[in-house]
Amino acid sequence: MSFLTIERLTKVYDSITAVDGISLDIERGEFVSLLGPSGCGKTTTLQMIAGFVDVTSGRILLEGQDLARVHPARRGLGIVFQSYALFPHMTVAENVGFGLEMRKVSRADRDRRVAAALQLVGLSAMADRYPKRMSGGQQQRVALARALVIEPHLLLLDEPLSNLDAKLREEMQGELRDIQERTGLTTILVTHDQAEAMALSDRIVVMSKGRIEQIDAPEAAYQVPATRFVADFLGRTNTVEGDCAGAAVSVAGETWTVPGGAPAGPVHVAVRPERVTFAETGLAGTVRKRVFQGSQWYFEVESVVGPLAVLAPNGRGRVPAVDEAVRLTWSADDMRVLPREAVR
């Protein structure tokens, strides 16, 4: 039995289905991200696990126990919110120890556990400081320590890094993953940030319109998207129309042999921009835009199959100019072929 099991979980608000019969198994020690655009149902799912939102139908089992019968305060869950929700009139140590105090933990044990939690997040020297005198990243660490100090069965993170600037956010991603690995704590993260989910997670759960589109390791979901939505949502993707016959996939007169073949008939071909290359032969096009991005060049090419995005490493060969005629191609291993009827 999995550590956490979600069975046909559904939440309906009046006539709106926010979560539509999703099922998911999470193993002990896993870091899993619920990823998707606003309104896809990811936050509602997290709130049902936490007990803040009632379940319309389905079950949530934690080590075999149905959480519907357990009061939210007794579920043993650590939660970090987007806003951190720190008490401004309390010191860092008092904020972190508040949950233990509510649980009637003795003062000596409370002090020991608070000190250990602050050491874990690197804030031992700030135990007596108030939140208003701390940076956003430091406040985020306090919120994380408060969630960890109760020694939860499960850690729930609701967009915890969204209020940080880009550089600090990247630093905190690394620290968050390090802490999770050191504690071995099963963790569920809700985020709309694809890069964040892929950097942190053992598996990502891509959601759209209340349903799960794909559950996979980050690399697998990126390289082999199950649907066009996943292909488009996880980074830039070129999606063009083609036709398949056996192992041969044709796009505008150019043909690739796909290992294992694909269903015969009209297909969508998805190719990441970094896999598209300039070549002597291939799809004809004209460069309409080029942008220098430091380690790479970004191109927009108007081709015979429509606009295509191309990412080319900086310093490797000649850089085509705007309005220059070019040819584009890619490897058969770099294309994902989807039957058109499978595209939602």
pLDDT in tens, 300-309: 999 999 999 9
C-alpha to C-alpha distances, 31 to 121, 257, 344, nearest whole angstrom: 18, 37, 28
Given a cut of 90, whether residue 117 has pLDDT beyond it is: yes
Q: Within a 10 A sphere around the Cβ of 120, how many other Cβ atoms?
A: 18
Q: What is the mean pLDDT of residues 280-293?
A: 95
pLDDT, one tens digit per residue, over 154-192 is: 999 999 888 788 888 888 888 889 999 999 999 999 999
Question: What is the pTM assigned to this prediction?
Answer: 0.86
Residue 232: is its pLDDT beyond 60? Answer: yes
Residue 247's Cβ-count burial label (10 Å; 0-12, 13-18, 19+) is: middle
Whole-number CA gyration radius for the chain: 24
**CB half-sphere exposure, 270, CA atoms < 13 A:** 23
Amino acid 265: pLDDT = 84
* Runs of H (alpha helix) within the chain: 42-50, 92-102, 107-120, 136-149, 166-183, 194-200, 218-223, 228-233
4-227: CATH topology is: Rossmann fold (3.40.50)
- What is the spatial distance between Cα 38 and Cα 23, in angstroms, rounded to a whole number? 20
CATH architecture of 236-342: Beta Barrel (2.40)
The secondary structure of 143-189 as a DSSP string is HHHHHHHT--SEEEEESTTTTS-HHHHHHHHHHHHHHHHHHT-EEEE
* pLDDT above 90 (res 338): no
What residues does each domain of the chain span? 4-227, 236-342
Q: What is the DSSP letter of 295?
A: S
- On the question of a common fold for 4-227 and 236-342, the answer reads no
Query: Residues 21-74: pLDDT tens digits?
Result: 999 999 999 999 999 999 999 999 999 999 999 999 999 999 999 998 899 988
- 343, pLDDT greater than 80: no
Pair of tokens at residue 323: 């309005």
Question: What is the percentage of the chain residues whose pLDDT exceeds 90?
Answer: 69
